[in-house]
Amino acid sequence: MYHIVWGTKYRRKVLKEYTRVDLVKSVKKVQRRYPTWYVHELNIDEDHVHIVVEVPPKVSISKVVQEIKVQSSKDLRRRYKYMDRIYREVGIWEVGYFVSTVGLNEKQIRQYVQKQGEEEKGVDVTTEYS
């Protein structure tokens, strides 16, 4: 199980409430394509995404991040033309990401992900994902 965080390009606050629904749909689309991957938590703030995902040991975490970022970028740029104009050349997401394994501290990490964005009025979309 992994906790993954990645941000929008230049940390622009483009993940508004109306785009979050489509981002959740993109993550669900990836999960349907890879049924052995299971998303435990997902929280989206205006400029970054937190996800707790469980994948089999034979799957590299870079593959998981790549699939989610590519699919969500395609879907968001297709749905929102302003994003396509802004990010056509550089992409919606920053190049890197943060990842850590989840072990004995699973409860704390899940609570941390759930509380993300509360100060900045981010919206927890975990319930929409379930």
In a domain, 6, yes or no: yes
pTM over 0.85: no
Q: CA quadruple 93, 123, 108, 35: dihedral positive or negative?
A: negative
Q: Convert the pLDDT of each residue in 93-127 to its tens digit.
A: 999 999 999 876 777 877 888 777 665 555 566 66
Q: Which CATH number covers residue 70? A: 3.30.70.1290
Establish if 11 belongs to a structural domain: yes
In a domain? residue 122: no
Torsion angle, alpha carbons of 127, 18, 116, 40, to 10: 40
3-state secondary structure (DSSP) of residue 1: coil
DSSP letter for each residue of 76-126? HHHH-HHHHHHHTTT-SB-S--EEEE-STTHHHHHHHHHHTTTTTT-B--H
**Per residue, what are the HEC states of 32-55?**
HHCCCCEEEEEEECCCEEEEEEEC
Q: Is residue 16 part of a domain?
A: yes
Number of domains in the chain: 1
Backbone φ, ψ for residue 73 (5° rounding): -65, -45
For the stretch 48-104, pLDDT in tens is: 999 999 999 999 999 999 999 999 999 999 999 888 888 887 889 999 999 999 876
Range of the domain at 9: 2-115
Residue 54 lies in a domain: yes
